Amino acid sequence: PHVELLTPRASRKQALGLRNLHGQLFLMDLGSAHGTYLGREKLKPMEPKEWRPGAVAYFADKSVEVFEFRPTRLSTKVQTAT
């Protein structure tokens, strides 16, 4: 799904979030003009970087909004026939 960023400095195609088969989340800058940041690190364009739980990301301007990766675990109980 698309996420609307509030900062006017964000590009129309700013970044992409990716999840692999192991459940790891990655963030990749799509060559944006003002950059995508994971923590204090500016991401290199088109190079996915793992977004670990608790890490903060921002897009172009951290004074407007930041995003924190906080996964939740959904409990799925398997019922057995008795």
pLDDT in tens, 2-42: 888 999 999 989 999 999 999 899 999 999 999 999 999 99
Strand order in 15-19's β-sheet?
Answer: 15-19, 25-29, 49-50
The residue whose two tokens read 């924190």 is: 68
CA separation for the pair 33, 29 (Å, rounded):
10
- pTM over cut 0.75: yes
pLDDT classification of 80: cutoffs 50, 70, 90: low
